[in-house]
Structure 1
Amino acid sequence: MTGWDGIARAGWSDHAAVLARLEAGADPERYGAGRPLHQAAAYGSPQVVAELAARVADVDAIEHGTTALWAAVMAGRADNARALAAAGADPWLPQLGGWSPGRLALAGPDPDLFPRPAAGTAGTELTPAERETARSGRELVAALGEFHHEGTGLACVAGIDADEAVRRLGGEPLDAQYLEDFLEDPYAYEMEEGLLIAGATTVPGGCVVTQPWGCTPATPGALARLTAGTFGYGLYANPKSGNQGSIARDGTVEAGDLHPGGGPNPADTSEQVLAGYLFHHRAVAAACAFAELRPTDDRAVAGPADRWVKLPDIDYWEH
């Protein structure tokens, strides 16, 4: 037992409650398989962060490859990041993919979060390519904005427009009145019926095939047809298990079981770490960015689409 049983995320903001646990013997170094300071850095208050930072042996202790300061930057908690830096955490300690919390912050909304080392110090600046990636990523996130996408299936495809996407899928026009009625309440219809209705919208860089009520655009069969001679990213925002992603290239699904929006992983490349930071909790933006799409709003995902069509009744899990 570590003394943290039953604490919820919101509990890491309650300084009095956390202090009471610590005084009663809660371990400042252990929280389940992780560390309390990492939890507080991501979800808590600066007061709790400072309290825990003063009690641990190493404020830069590692959990799953990263420090608590990294967790604060990933969570967008500038207040907690400053508290950790004040407690001695090193903003420029390299971690995943060679990135440090300080370099990540340079790519985010608060590039002056930490004092800069002397000019020219290795690993403390962004390259021109990284600056452009960060700029375009922030623009994409802002353009998409906040919208509900749980339950949505998407195929983000480079280099083709909505008409070509419909042609590749074999989509057929829908009766106008039927479509109006269906879109008013798609969940009033049988699931099998809804899974054969999808929208396609042309966006800068390519197109998005969307199904706000199902997974069909993200299935292997749909992605294989859509990506002949090009590439794309399939996303299903599964209400039960979270965001599920896959990569298809030239008609072949080459990677699956991905978790867009979930943040960087220890084995990620430098480019993947940056993308994981820019699109943390932004799965739709991650899918669009991979396919080099630049939608100017959320219409391609949430509708109304350029074209709504009925898809052939085939097994989309085969390709």
Structure 2
Amino acid sequence: MTDNNAAGWSDFGWDSWTDLTLVRARLDAGADPNHGVYSFEPPLHAAADRGSPEVVAELAGRVDGVDAECEGRTALWEAVFNDRPENARALVAAGADPWRPMMGGWSPGRLSLAGPWPGLFFPFPPGHAGLTEAETAAVAEAERLAGALGGIGYDGYSLACVRGISAAEAARRLAAEAVDEEELEEIMEDPSDDEAMQIIGFTDVPGGCVVSQEWGYMSSTPGVMKALSAGTIAYGMYANPKSGNQGCVYRDGEVLDWDTHPGGGDVSSTDSAEEILLKYLYVGNAEAYCFAGAGLRPTDARAITEPDTHLRLPERDYWS
């Protein structure tokens, strides 16, 4: 019997999928080209996401089907979503279909039109839809937002982006009260103090408002998100310096999604077409993802770094 590590993929790290010699050795020793150690990621999908085109071509020549789907997408879709054009070309050369329908109507070819390589699969074949006017506008807005929100050089803050209400209305919903300026200065000198957690910022932006806290998680807690999202939608996020970005989405006081990883590209086959595009456009840009999801159009990062107003939240349980 062959040792699992010698013949399988169980000890393969992130960079292993760029090592053609290593991949060939595993395949020749009996590793299954169709199945990985994790059922949700076959070897070809892993290589398409983070490997080299040479490894992709090797695996594509050994699998049972180059267009085999896992969690609703093919390896070619993974290459496009993760902006790996050379891997995509290797897959097409091996027979992968760029226009195979999947993932909420986003075939690999159609998704590529929204990314940095819109000419990847030209000439565009007849009978396949391009981007809609709204999708084209979303692509342009993603480019604008990336520039507008650039330069946030720290973690530890939280935000709630709320569609269609003003900062004043947000403060009313939360029963937030004014803070004496001298007291605010004292609190902000030591934001690690418990009292500082009750102080949050409010800022009007085109499309709605942002509730934020520069030094803590309070703005994205369930109690805050429920109140803010009444009759609308709110995208929240805590930039946790220990474990990464923690996101949530609320609509009309109810949680739609919790403990997400905004900007992380964690796409599900159950996502809507709009949500898939949103996640694709904002990979690596968590703050912009939250603004765009709520339909807000800020011109800068001031709502996070320098809110218009700081107010005090009343004492209550914000986690239930």
Q: Normalised by the size of structure 1, how large is the TM-score? A: 0.86
Which residue in 2 is equivalent to 1:27? 32
Structure 1: which 5+ runs fail to align? none
Q: Which runs of structure 2 are paired with 1:117-266 in the superposition (5 Å)?
A: 117-118=124-125, 121-145=126-150, 147=152, 150-174=155-179, 176=181, 179-180=184-185, 183=188, 186=191, 189-190=192-193, 192-238=194-240, 239-240=242-243, 242-249=245-252, 252-257=253-258, 259=260, 260-261=262-263, 262-266=265-269
For this pair of structures, how many residues does the alignment match?
A: 310
Query: 1:219/1:201 Cα in 2 relative to 1: closer, same or farther (>3 Å)?
Result: same
- Note the C-alpha offset of 1:94: 0.8
Moved more, 40-49 or 231-240: 231-240
Q: Tell me how far apart the structure 1 counterparts of residues 82 and 54 of structure 2 sit (CA, whole Å).
A: 17
- Note the C-alpha offset of 1:212: 3.6
Which residue in 2 is equivalent to 1:70? 77
Local SS of the residue matching 2:104: helix
Query: 1:184/1:295 Cα in 2 relative to 1: closer, same or farther (>3 Å)?
Result: farther
- Note the C-alpha offset of 1:111: 0.7
Q: Deviation digits for residues 89-137 of structure 1, max 9, x if unmatched?
A: 111111111210110010112211112333xx23341222222222223
Local SS of the residue matching 1:96: coil
Which residue in 1 is equivalent to 2:118? 111
Which residue in 2 is equivalent to 1:83? 90
Q: Tell me how far apart the structure 2 counterparts of residues 47 and 64 of structure 1 sit (CA, whole Å).
A: 24
Local SS of the residue matching 1:244: strand
Percent of pairs with identical residues: 47
- Which residue identity is paired with 1:49? V
- Which residue identity is paired with 2:103? L
- Note the C-alpha offset of 1:146: 6.0
Q: Deviation digits for residues 233-283 of structure 1, max 9, x if unmatched?
A: 22334544752312132xx22523262434431122222222232233433
Query: 1:42/1:81 Cα in 2 relative to 1: closer, same or farther (>3 Å)?
Result: same
Q: Tell me how far apart the structure 2 counterparts of residues 242 and 47 of structure 1 sit (CA, whole Å).
A: 33
Q: Tell me how far apart the structure 2 counterparts of residues 139 and 11 of structure 1 sit (CA, whole Å).
A: 36
Query: 1:230/1:181 Cα in 2 relative to 1: closer, same or farther (>3 Å)?
Result: same
Local SS of the residue matching 1:160: coil
Q: Tell me how far apart the structure 2 counterparts of residues 268 and 148 of structure 1 sit (CA, whole Å).
A: 31
Q: Deviation digits for residues 6-55 of structure 1, max 9, x if unmatched?
A: 21112212223323323333222221112111111111112221222222
CA contact (8 A) 1:220 1:317 kept: yes
Work out whether 1:288 is the aligned partner of 2:291: yes
Match of 1:278 among 276, 281, 284: 281
Local SS of the residue matching 1:243: strand
- Note the C-alpha offset of 1:160: 3.0
Match of 1:59 among 66, 81, 103: 66
Query: 1:130/1:300 Cα in 2 relative to 1: closer, same or farther (>3 Å)?
Result: same
- Which residue identity is paired with 1:295? P
Query: 1:150/1:43 Cα in 2 relative to 1: closer, same or farther (>3 Å)?
Result: farther
Q: Tell me how far apart the structure 1 counterparts of residues 185 and 49 of structure 2 sit (CA, whole Å).
A: 44
Query: 1:169/1:143 Cα in 2 relative to 1: closer, same or farther (>3 Å)?
Result: same
Work out whether 1:312 is the aligned partner of 2:319: no
Q: Deviation digits for residues 60-89 of structure 1, max 9, x if unmatched?
A: 111111111111111111221122122221
Query: 1:134/1:221 Cα in 2 relative to 1: closer, same or farther (>3 Å)?
Result: same
Local SS of the residue matching 1:233: strand
- Which residue identity is paired with 1:245? C
Query: 1:256/1:61 Cα in 2 relative to 1: closer, same or farther (>3 Å)?
Result: closer
Query: 1:270/1:156 Cα in 2 relative to 1: closer, same or farther (>3 Å)?
Result: same
CA contact (8 A) 1:41 1:72 kept: yes
